[in-house]
């Protein structure tokens, strides 16, 4: 039997090798038969969301579609999944893998080949208009979620595209504001998710970003495309531009393979003279075409080989992601869940109550197949003896320049009579989305509304719609706070299940929420009102000259929780935090050794116990701390985590394998990663600010 399996495995491996050899041979044959014009046509987009193909030689086009929260189509409606930051808040790799599979199954129904997702830019400032599309502030958490997502998509025979490479951390003036980032911060903070996508998930395509990096547009950066992606990380796939983000033919020599959505610069008129000028330029063109042909033929040979996922399963997946990603931030006096005697009269109020706030705006927004508002979801899910009333906000006369209008305040007289008041507040897809940044604070009338409600009823629950953190001047006045992100079309149902206690919340923040904007590490440099522009136009957009601004990342590696640790300041809500309706205890720790080397890893085991009377999930987080750093380092860095589901009263062992490279930092003198021998601590807890276990190890 063993010999039979060995023969079978060898046959399968050899078959794969032959298949790839066949593709390579076909690619070389096509290259010999293609004209220069056909080759150049192949490196420019066609009709917006396609490659051109070579009809004469039966080379098909590759068809793209937007993501990452479902399929974006002009005519058809699809399952709208939660925002990717909500998916990251699940801290559940398996669930994010399923989400990738489900979205890819929708891609297949419209016969598309490439999903333009996921976005893995790090959360640096809460104002960034596309934070909801990304996966939070931590490079390790983002890497893990991105790898799971990509594997899920590509498991279904659809090519994933990781974006936007790199340091696209604001959307304000994104074409011309250069992200000025030092070498160490690039490698420790902003590169890792892209590197993991390449080396761990074998992503098929990478999209460059709009912004310049250190004064050079990313689509024209030889350093990023050739030195980092191809030489250092070994990326073999296609590098494409973001839409209309090529600014000159410099992109051709820099290594860009595909200009989207059309060849404004990488066209026959502009590129042919370059190609004919030298053999090296001809080789550059052939290399691009070779990658695009390989990309196309590798996909076409087993196109849609995976069985699709049915609609009900896709909707269930979207609901599960929302249920696990919604974060309970505050729950004073165990106000939530809403259940039991004396909790049956509920007032629903707020600008986002009667709308389905399932997504932020821009290319990521999907036409939802079955959107349901928060209020309608609460009514549909409520027990028969519950009374759910709605206090609608008039669009025009609810507030004045000075706050809530007297007329509207008079309508709040009934608020004290309710057992619970649920206020749905936050942003909309018009306020938070692609192409612009949004405020840190909620609209003033929303803050006034929350204050007025809390003054009249201490059992006020605030549900926030946003792609990241917001100012909460009312945080101490309300009974409970729930961050729902943009939870997708099933988000209302998921939220109702949590509010009524049918689902125990388990989401953990993938970001740090600051008390004040001034507490953010980037607050001193991020300024959308006073862009520091060079005096002379440096490049053109749509034929018009533009100047370049600069955004200096002065905080370096000290972003998010790293910054708050570094300056010893307490945030409003810490990275990794999130409440449950039950209680967990971490303990009974054992290690098989306390020395870590190239040859030795530490196996650490601990017990997680559910001490409450409800089943639920806890996420155990392991951080590392350099006790005597030889360079300035963050106090702690997330390196491992595991989400555990436990029935009431149950216990389970969690095992972590700690490796030497987890203690590495980027050494700018060597231009490479390094590990210093010495004493370190393993810090284990349920949030970045709640470390309950500390174990020393020696790294050799």
For 638-671, how does the pLDDT look when each residue is reduced to its tens digit (9 = 90+)?
999 999 999 999 999 999 999 999 999 999 999 9
Mean pLDDT on 338-362: 92
Q: Given phi > 0 = left and psi -120 to 50 = alpha, else beta, which region is 678?
A: left
As a whole number of angstroms, the distance between CA 168 and CA 121 comes to: 6
pLDDT in tens, 486-526: 999 999 999 999 999 999 999 999 999 999 999 999 998 88
Local confidence band at 402 (pLDDT 50, 70, 90 cut-offs): low
What 3-state DSSP class applies to 341? coil
Q: What is each CA distance from 381 to 315, 317, 341, 418, 498, in whole angstroms?
A: 17, 19, 18, 19, 11
Per-residue pLDDT reduced to its tens digit, 98-110:
999 999 999 999 9
Least Cα distance to 300 among 159, 201, 151 occurs for 159
Section 343-358 average pLDDT: 93
Q: Which of these is catalytic: 113, 242, 257, 686?
A: 242
Position 479 pLDDT exceeds 90: yes
Tell me what pLDDT residue 3 has.
44
Contact partners, residue 32, CB within 8 Å, separation at least 6: none
Q: Which CATH number fits domain 584-699: 2.60.40.10, 3.30.1360.10, 3.30.750.210, 3.20.20.70?
A: 2.60.40.10
Which stretch, 336-340, 410-414, 611-615, has highest mean pLDDT? 611-615
Give the count of beta carbons closer than 10 Å to the beta carbon of residue 233.
17
Asked if 416 contacts 457 with a C-beta cutoff of 8 angstroms, the reply is yes
Question: pLDDT tens across 461-476, in order?
Answer: 999 999 999 999 999 9
Preceding amide of 164 cis, omega within 30: yes
* The two structure tokens encoding residue 613: 């009377």
CB 478 within 8 A of CB 462: yes
Cβ proximity of 94 and 152 under 8 Å: no
Burial of 63 from C-beta contacts in 10 A (0-12 / 13-18 / 19+) = middle
Domain boundaries along the sequence of the chain: 1-61+267-301, 584-699
- Which pLDDT does position 416 carry in this prediction? 95
Q: How many CB atoms lie within 10 A of CB 568?
A: 7
Average of pLDDT values for 238-257? Answer: 97
Q: How confident is the model at residue 16 (pLDDT cuts 50, 70, 90)?
A: very low
On average, the pLDDT of the chain sits at 93
Give the pLDDT confidence of 592-617 residue by residue, as tens digits: 999 999 999 999 999 999 999 999 99
661 is catalytic: no
Tokens linked to 289: 């075409």
Q: Does 244 score more than 90 pLDDT?
A: yes
DSSP structural state of residue 693? E
Q: CA 482 to CA 461: how far, in whole Å?
A: 8
* Average pLDDT estimate for 165-181: 94
DSSP string, 369-417: SS---HHHHHHHHS-TT-EEEEEPPPTTTSEETTEE-HHHHHGGGGGGG
Whole-number Å distance between alpha carbons of 221 and 670? 22
Q: Are the C-beta atoms of 48 and 61 separated by less than 8 Å?
A: no
Which range is least confidently modeled, 540-544, 619-623, 690-694? Answer: 540-544
pLDDT at residue 575 tops 90 = yes
User: What confidence category does residue 13 fall into, taking pLDDT thresholds of 50, 70 and 90?
Assistant: very low
């Amino acid at each position: 039997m063993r010999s039979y399996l060995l023969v079978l495995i060898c046959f399968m491996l050899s078959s794969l090798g032959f298949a790839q050899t066949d593709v390579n041979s076909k690619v070389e044959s096509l290259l010999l038969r293609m004209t220069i014009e056909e080759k150049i046509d192949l490196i420019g987009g066609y009709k917006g969301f396609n490659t051109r193909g070579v009809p004469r030689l039966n080379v098909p086009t590759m068809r793209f579609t937007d993501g990452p929260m479902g399929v974006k189509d002009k005519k058809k409606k699809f399952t709208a999944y939660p925002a990717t930051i909500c998916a990251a808040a699940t801290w559940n790799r398996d669930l994010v893998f399923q989400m990738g599979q489900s979205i890819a199954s929708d891609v297949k129904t419209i016969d598309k080949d490439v999903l333009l997702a996921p976005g893995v830019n790090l959360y640096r400032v809460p104002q960034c208009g596309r934070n909801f599309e990304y996966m939070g502030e931590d490079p390790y958490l983002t890497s893990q979620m991105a790898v799971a997502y990509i594997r899920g998509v590509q498991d279904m025979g659809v090519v994933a595209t990781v974006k936007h490479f790199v340091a696209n951390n604001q959307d304000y003036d994104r074409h011309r504001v250069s992200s000025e980032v030092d070498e160490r911060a690039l490698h420790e903070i902003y590169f890792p998710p892209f590197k993991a996508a390449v080396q761990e998930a074998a992503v098929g395509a990478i999209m460059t970003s709009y912004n310049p990096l250190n004064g050079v547009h990313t689509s024209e950066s030889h350093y990023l495309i050739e030195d980092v992606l191809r030489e250092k990380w070994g990326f073999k796939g296609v590098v494409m531009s973001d839409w209309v983000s090529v600014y000159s033919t410099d992109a051709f020599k820099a290594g860009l393979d595909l200009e989207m959505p059309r060849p404004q610069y990488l066209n026959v008129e502009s590129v042919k003279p370059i190609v004919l000028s030298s053999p090296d330029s001809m080789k550059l063109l052939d290399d691009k075409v070779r990658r695009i042909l390989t990309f196309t033929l590798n996909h076409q040979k087993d196109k849609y080989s995976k069985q699709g996922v049915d609609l009900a399963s896709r909707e269930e997946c979207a609901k599960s992601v929302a249920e696990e990603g919604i974060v309970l931030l505050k729950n004073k006096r165990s106000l939530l869940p809403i259940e039991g005697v004396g909790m049956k009269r509920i007032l629903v109020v707020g600008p986002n109550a009667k709308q389905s706030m399932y997504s932020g705006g821009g290319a990521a927004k999907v036409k939802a197949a079955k959107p349901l508002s928060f209020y309608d979801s609460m009514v549909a899910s409520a027990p028969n003896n519950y009374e759910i009333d709605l206090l609608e906000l008039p669009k025009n006369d609810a507030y004045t320049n000075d706050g809530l209008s007297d007329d509207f305040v008079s309508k709040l007289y009934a608020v004290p009579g309710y057992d619970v008041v649920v206020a749905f507040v936050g942003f909309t897809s018009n306020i938070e989305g692609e192409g612009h940044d949004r405020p840190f604070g909620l609209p003033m009338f929303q803050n006034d509304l929350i204050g007025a409600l809390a003054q009249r009823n201490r059992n006020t629950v605030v549900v926030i719609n946003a792609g990241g953190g917001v100012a909460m001047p009312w945080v101490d006045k309300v009974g409970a706070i729930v961050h729902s992100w943009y939870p997708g079309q099933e988000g209302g149902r998921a939220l109702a299940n949590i509010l009524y206690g049918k689902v125990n919340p388990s989401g953990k923040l993938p970001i740090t929420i600051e008390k004040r904007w001034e507490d953010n590490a980037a607050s001193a440099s991020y300024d959308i009102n006073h862009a520091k522009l060079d005096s002379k136009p440096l490049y053109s957009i749509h034929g018009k000259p533009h100047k370049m601004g600069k955004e200096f990342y002065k905080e370096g590696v000290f972003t998010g929780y790293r910054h708050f640790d570094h300056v010893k300041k307490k945030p409003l809500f810490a990275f990794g935090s999130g409440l449950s309706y039950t209680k967990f205890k971490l303990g009974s720790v054992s290690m098989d050794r306390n020395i870590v080397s190239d040859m030795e890893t530490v196996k650490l085991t601990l017990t997680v116990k559910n001490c409450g009377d409800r089943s639920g999930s806890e996420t155990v987080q392991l951080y590392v701390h350099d006790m005597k750093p030889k360079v300035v380092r963050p106090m702690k860095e997330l390196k491992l985590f595991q989400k555990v589901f436990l029935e009431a009263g149950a216990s389970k062992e969690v095992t972590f394998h700690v490796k030497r490279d987890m203690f590495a930092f980027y050494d700018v003198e060597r231009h490479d990663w390094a590990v210093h021998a010495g004493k370190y601590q393993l810090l284990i807890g349920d949030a970045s600010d709640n470390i309950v276990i500390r174990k020393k190890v020696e790294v050799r």
